[in-house]
Amino acid sequence: MAKEEKRKKIREAAARLFAEKGFENTTTRDIAGAAGINNAALYYYFDNKEQLLYQILEEVIRTGLEKITEIEQSPQPLQEKLALILRIHTRAAIDFDKMKLLVHEQRSLSPEHRQELKERQRLYVGRLIGVLRQLRDRGEMLDLDLTVCAYAFFGMVSWAYRWYRPDGKVKLEELSEIFYTIFTQGIYRERAAGTKKAKKQLKTC
């Protein structure tokens, strides 16, 4: 097996174990056993457990950023770009092990690695903000704070790993459509009775 293939196998084994047991409770011996190598051989491929976690998360963010950047820079209509970004992020969100690590285990990284990933995540969010800004400038969306909209978008989708099951009644394509509808149209029908009155209640919070 080529070195990079072996490294990938180790990363996948580590991602499963980190998600199941937590980073702190997973040993290098656990990872080596799951990857089918001895503990000493693990250090031929990775310096330590933290480097393994960093490379897992870096790959997730880098892959997503490459895809979302390609969409943002494409000549497609803006609304199609938004739909594609949502679909890509939905697919990433249901990679349960890696999304769980992305949400919960960045704190286990070194300060340098944590800062590096944070900067890449800002770029990721910035790509969506760029699409939303164009939609707003063209009058195709409400005049809302774009940063709030972007984080609401990612927050809604990212937590799907906690409850979504691919073998359930809602398939991936339908899940993406539901998210898209909620984000772009809300859940109420146009001028639904009581929505204006209900909105006033928000001012009492």
Domains of the chain: which residue ranges?
Answer: 1-46, 49-187
Q: What is the DSSP letter of 203?
A: G
Check whether 48 has a pLDDT greater than 90: yes
d(CA 135, CA 82): 10
Residues in the chain: 205
Q: Which of 3.30.1220.10, 1.20.1270.360, 3.20.10.10, 1.10.357.10 would CATH assign to domain 49-187?
A: 1.10.357.10
**Cβ atoms < 10 Å from Cβ of 56:** 21
Residue 186 is predicted with a pLDDT of 82
Residue 7 is predicted with a pLDDT of 93
Residue 4 is predicted with a pLDDT of 87
Residue 113 is predicted with a pLDDT of 97
d(CA 194, CA 205): 18
Which pTM was predicted? 0.86
Label residue 175 by pLDDT band (50, 70, 90).
very high
Contact 157, 93 (CB under 8 A): yes
d(CA 83, CA 182): 12
Interacting residues of 42 by C-beta distance below 8 A, sequence separation 6+: 10, 28, 31, 32, 35
Check whether 14 has a pLDDT greater than 70: yes
Average pLDDT over residues 4-16: 94
Q: Which of 2.60.40.60, 3.30.2310.20, 1.10.530.10, 1.10.10.60 would CATH assign to domain 1-46?
A: 1.10.10.60
Check whether 118 has a pLDDT greater than 90: yes
Average pLDDT over residues 87-116: 93
